[in-house]
Amino acid sequence: MAGNRRNSLRLHGYDYASTGAYFVTVCTSDRLPLFGKVEEGQVMLARFGTMVLDSWQRVVALLPGAELDEFIVMPDHFHAIVWLNVGNTVNKEYHVGANDYPPFAGQPTDLRSLMRSFKGAVTTAINTACDTPGRPVWQPGYYDRVIRDERELDAAREYVQFNVQKCLMMRETSASR
């Protein structure tokens, strides 16, 4: 097989422009803590972390049918739940994940376009601020999970909400070795 091909974590046969919720994670290049630090149980965002936060909110707001859910900027990664192609739906609980809902008429927002726009906006902002054109900010790609039901949605929200505590527990475990 030619080239260096990574294994895909994508849900085989799933249309990532489908209506629903998605849980995404993206890590910094070399897992460098560019975005801040964890102090006293909270993430203290640095200048670049604020750029991530602002870019996420701006990119999602500009895409038709995209809506924010839980998200967190960590020192070396970013977690988010985002709803795509929800239209004017008021009650999202009936439009969770891979339920084979057809996309709304017109051009649907797909996860790949959203993540490309977000990562590009952050990279441009940071590299402009540092005068380092072309320097990678993110690892290639991102991790995603199609949220298929309310149980998975609740679990993803809990994961995002308690990510700082998880980070602190991992740090304590590493320090005790």
* pLDDT tens for each residue of 124-171: 999 999 999 999 999 999 999 999 999 999 999 999 999 998 877 776
Confidence of residue 37 (pLDDT cuts 50, 70, 90): very high
Region 92-108: mean pLDDT is 43
- Is the pLDDT assigned to residue 177 strictly greater than 70? no
The mean pLDDT value for 37-48 works out to: 93
Question: Domain 20-175 belongs to what topology?
Answer: Alpha-Beta Plaits (3.30.70)
Structure tokens at 33: 């803590």
Average pLDDT, the chain: 82
Q: What is the rounded CA–CA span in Å between residue 85 and residue 48?
A: 29
Query: Rounded CA gap, 94 and 99, in Å?
Result: 9
Pair 117, 57: CB distance under 8 Å: no
